[in-house]
A = this chain, B = another copy of it.
């Protein structure tokens, strides 16, 4: 028995807007932030989890976490994990709070922070990293983590169990492979829109020297500067490396189709978020029109019902699930299963503050348990703010090494929490 005795929430913000790290066509000045949850227990372990935001409004997500806290505090960890789907439903379906979503925006971001803190606690208590905890579950236990409401027209729990059962016999070999080689990644740090050209060139050279072969740049301000930026990137990385581009929701559907014709010469692996993240049919229309250029989306996809439709409509070539936008790992697992059913590779969104720490687990779970494939898959990486984490990601030759420490890699270092807490931490005092 491990009783959850208290939930603390901290408003953590890094002043990244001072350097324009993370700047793109719609996010001009992000301060990478976390609504940070600590689940205290009557045992030695505490669960740490957070949801990522980009500055103002992080306090609003913290308030939403507090509003959900009565669903958590006082409960027993075994009771929660014994019927994790019911616990998830209790959070997402709280009879008054669900009006604020349902299952989208602030209230769902808050749900993610809490649910991921429970995962961190559970894995620490078992003494294993989260990916290993999940990989050790039976197919029935895995399926039991998911609230299946609204999914049965696309995937049933029975189908999901069969899918998982089919991958189990070969899992040990895949785990050995990941221990040896790591999981493939791509790097976004070079191409932020706010960076001048010489900085982009230098960052590309540094990344090539470190073994990176997959790069992403930001586009969407104007055609001429996008063409210039892609040309600079190609000059630096050549034509053997992969190049992706991210428009961050900036275009209407017809505008996206017209604009992307100008980027055809750069042989992009994908165009990401070409229009509103809510526009399933718009993504499908763009995808049909710009082929063979492929379409990626998901970091702003509000919930599993939107992902279900993106897949049903044939709207995306790559599923960019986010560790915090959805209501925690349980809902992410549902999306991994849906993507596998529809044959769409999952390439998680990361970067920000701590998203890389989370998604390394997600990609490993996908490979070990769900898709069992690395084909055309890679996980985002951005080289910011890892120094704040107790168990930061380890990258070697453009690949994520397997996390080894118990938990969800979500715990931040106490001195970082003290310095970044808003507005009284040392990083913010006098700002």
Contacts and interface: CB of A to CB of B under 8 A. Distances in A.
A76 interface: no
A132 interface: no
Interface in A73-106: 93-106
Given A104-B104, A105-B106, A277-B102, A150 B96 contact: no
Nearest to A28: B95
A313 interface: yes
Interface string A300-318: 1011011011001100000
A109 interface: yes
A175 interface: no
A108 interface: yes
Interface stretch (A41-49, A164-172, A278-286): A278-286
A56 B280 CA distance: 31
A194 to B, nearest CB: 12
Interface string A237-268: 00000000000010011110000000000000
Interface stretch (A59-67, A340-348, A423-431): A59-67
Interface string A267-295: 00000000111111110010000000000
Contact of A279 (B67, B98, B108, B150): B150
Contact of A95 (B27, B67, B106, B150): B27
A18 interface: no
Contact of A105 (B53, B94, B104, B285): B104
A252 B151 contact: yes
Contacts of A302: 104, 278, 302
Contacts of A309: 278-282
A26 interface: yes
B152 A99 contact: no
B282 A153 contact: yes
A54 B95 CA distance: 9
A107 interface: yes
Nearest to A109: B100
A31 interface: yes
Nearest to A306: B278
